[in-house]
Amino acid sequence: MNLYAIKAIYKFEMSRTMRTLFQSVVSPVISTSLYFVVFGSAIGSRISEIEGISYGSFIVPGLIMLSLITQSLANASFGIYFPKFTGTIYELLSAPVSFIEIIMGYVGASATKSILLGLIILATAELFVPIRIAHPYWMMLFLVLTALTFSLFGFIIGIWADNFEKLQIIPLLIVTPLVFLGGSFYSISMLPPLWQKINLFNPVLYLISGFRWSFYEISDVSITLSLSMIMIFLGLCLATVWWIFKTGYQVKQ
């Protein structure tokens, strides 16, 4: 294991956060704060409680997941796409560095940035609403697994994309709507029975439900099912990345 190579890639990607601090940290925190102001005040005044939790507190896990998923995708996809775009990826591929070390460097940095951002948003949320974390270890487990999984997914998108437009298609047109429809701002028990069943096919629902359970011990699906779904998605992403480097798809072309 070439730890020096992993460290070099990791430090380079982490340093990019400092160069784009406003875009990477400040902007997501401001956007999340606006969600609290708009949803917490406007909708919260009409919905007093959901399952015994004030509406402002109820949406905190969903907002953290929204930022965590979108930032994990953005950080990882851009991190690997930019070397492809500039051609510097061939220097990386010609170096004595295995694909496992490349993934650990890029995905590790992306996940770290997303986890830190999630914790910053959690601290920011406490300025607006009271928060209770019933299971902090479970909360961190879901935070880390989600960041790793969607960083891997973002890495796959960055490899697949051959222009900036493709880089944004999946996050904007597929993932973000799934997050909004996955119970970020409501419980699916509030939906008609038919839509409750349809929503069960949304994989993001299981992530948000499990994460919210770690806060308030309430969920739309069982914690076991939530954890199983994220492990399945993580396994699929790992298998896809292995296939990409085995075949050289969009990397050695």
pLDDT of residue 41: 63
pLDDT of residue 35: 75
pLDDT of residue 230: 92
Contact criterion met (CB below 8 Å) for 110 and 75:
yes
For residue 215, how many other CB atoms are within 10 A of its CB? Answer: 23
- pTM of the shown model: 0.88
pLDDT of residue 22: 67
pLDDT of residue 174: 86
pLDDT of residue 21: 66
pLDDT of residue 226: 92
Regions in the chain scoring below 70 on pLDDT: 20-24, 40-46, 250-253
Q: What is the C-alpha to C-alpha distance for residues 111 and 65, in angstroms, rounded to an integer? A: 13
Strands in the chain per DSSP E: 49-50, 53-54
pLDDT of residue 195: 84
Using DSSP's 3-state secondary structure scheme, residue 248 falls into coil
Output 242-247 pairs: Cβ under 8 A, ≥24 positions apart. 242/99, 244/156, 244/159, 245/99
Q: What is the C-alpha to C-alpha distance for residues 16 and 2, in angstroms, rounded to an integer? A: 22
Summarised one tens digit per residue, pLDDT across range 62-88 is: 889 988 998 899 888 888 888 877 777
Using DSSP's 3-state secondary structure scheme, residue 50 falls into strand
